[in-house]
Each structure stands twice: as structure tokens, then as C-alpha cells.
């Protein structure tokens, strides 16, 4: 096949052959630096990212896939909770694309990228909806506008215009006028991704990155392997 005439190879912004060698020089990762439990290791890295002023380190790409087509979709969301059971994000689970995907295929992947530290974390595993009681706890911490917005937005549905959305918000505002306590919508709440695989990636020069993968065995124990970059 002949090369495409308009093909353009992209280089990182502001880089050239001489200074590309200076990329991925901020750290290294060895197995003796890792905690045996990947969630604890994530917490260590996350706190370090906060200390190093990484911009919004809780930002994460959530990837899902519908069945039977296998079509994959991804979007940026915020990690809101992490504990020994897994990683939690919140969203609409009635009308959104991710809701459709998870309903047909209850598995998901999370990808964190912390540019300032040249680090990436990947998580894969089954996911589950949190209970209304669990979701209410986080929902109550949101500002009122965000709580109203969760009720008003039929996420991913087509709108005629901005005015339609604003009217939906006004209708919900009227419904809860004067109410300090607003119940969490039944279609909105937390999704927990229970990790079956977690990978920690540290950038290194010449693209010879350090990668370590945790995989969970049937006995519940974690195995750690170094992967080729």
C-alpha cells in the first residue's frame, strides 16, 4: 500500500531529537520499593502526587466496553474514594454511555497519568454499584448546585439547546425549594472498581520504562511481576 500523502508524524510539543533524550528522567522504580498490597502502594503514590502539586491527581480515565459488540468508550472522571475494596467514582447510571456499557459488561479499567512525576497507574477489574446509603454519604458533601445537577441532567441524552437543560435545572430547584437535605437520585451514585490487576509505571530514559504488574490469584494473594517496557 502506498504511503498516505498527508501522513504526519507527531512529536511531543517543543521536543526534537536532541532533547527527547531528556524525557523520563524524574525517577526509577524497583521491586523493593513496592508495598505488597497494590491499593496501599497506590495510596503512597497518590499522596506523593499531592505533595508534589500534581494538577488534580484524582483525574482518571474510565474505560468501559459494551457487549456483545465489544465497542470501547472512555472518558475523564474523578476518583472520589479508595479503600481496601477498590476505587470509587460517581456518575449517572441510567442514561449515560458508561451505564449502558457496565450493564452489559461489569468490568472496567482506570488509567491515571501524573505528568509532573512521569508516572502512570492502570487498574482493571470487575465493578459494582454502591448502595444508595453509601452514595448518600458522598452526595451530601457536594455543593447544592451539583446535587441539583445530578437530578436534572439526563446524562448523554440529546438536548434541543442550552435552554432545555436550564429549564430542567429550574424544575428540580423548584421541587427541592427550601429543602436542605436532598436525597441522592436512585439513578446516580458510586461505582466501585475492584482491582484484579494494577500496574505501576515509572518513565525512564530511552523509553526503557519501569513497569510492575500486580495480579490477584484465586487465593486472594497478590503476585508482582516486572514487565518489559
Query: Closest Cα to residue 179, out of 141, 144, 215, 216?
Result: 144
Calpha distance 152→187 (Å, rounded): 11
* Measured distance CA(206)–CA(181) in Å, rounded: 55
Angle between helix axes 162-175 and 144-152 (nearest 10 degrees) is 110
**Residue 211 known to be catalytic:** no
119 DSSP β-pair partners: 114, 202
Beta bridge partners, 96, equal none
- Classify burial at 163, counting beta carbons within 10 Å of its beta carbon; exposed 0-12, middle 13-18, buried 19 or more: exposed
Of 71, 75, 144, 207, which residue is the catalytic one?
207
Exposed / middle / buried, residue 138 (Cβ in 10 Å: 0-12, 13-18, 19+): middle
- Catalytic residues, by residue number, are 207
Amino acid at each position: 500500500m502506498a504511503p498516505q500523502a498527508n501522513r504526519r508524524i507527531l512529536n511531543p510539543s517543543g521536543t526534537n531529537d536532541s532533547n527527547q533524550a531528556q524525557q523520563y528522567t524524574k525517577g526509577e522504580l524497583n521491586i523493593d520499593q513496592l508495598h505488597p498490597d497494590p491499593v496501599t502502594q497506590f495510596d503512597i503514590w497518590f499522596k506523593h502526587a499531592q505533595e508534589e502539586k500534581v494538577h488534580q491527581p484524582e483525574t482518571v480515565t474510565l474505560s468501559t466496553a459494551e457487549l456483545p459488540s465489544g465497542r470501547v468508550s472512555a472518558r475523564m472522571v474523578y476518583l472520589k474514594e479508595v479503600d481496601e475494596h477498590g476505587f470509587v467514582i460517581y456518575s449517572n447510571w441510567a442514561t449515560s454511555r458508561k451505564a449502558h456499557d457496565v450493564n452489559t459488561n461489569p468490568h472496567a479499567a482506570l488509567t491515571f497519568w501524573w505528568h509532573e512525576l512521569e508516572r502512570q497507574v492502570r487498574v482493571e477489574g470487575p465493578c459494582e454499584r454502591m448502595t444508595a446509603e453509601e452514595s448518600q454519604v458522598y452526595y451530601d458533601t457536594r455543593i447544592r448546585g451539583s446535587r441539583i445537577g445530578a437530578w436534572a441532567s439526563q446524562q448523554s441524552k440529546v438536548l434541543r439547546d442550552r435552554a432545555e437543560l436550564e429549564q430542567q435545572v429550574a424544575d428540580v430547584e423548584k421541587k427541592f425549594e427550601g429543602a436542605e437535605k436532598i436525597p441522592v437520585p436512585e439513578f446516580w451514585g458510586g461505582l466501585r472498581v475492584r482491582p484484579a490487576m494494577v500496574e505501576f509505571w515509572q518513565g525512564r530514559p530511552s523509553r526503557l520504562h519501569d513497569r510492575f504488574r500486580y495480579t490477584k490469584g484465586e487465593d486472594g494473594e497478590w503476585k508482582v511481576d516486572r514487565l518489559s517496557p
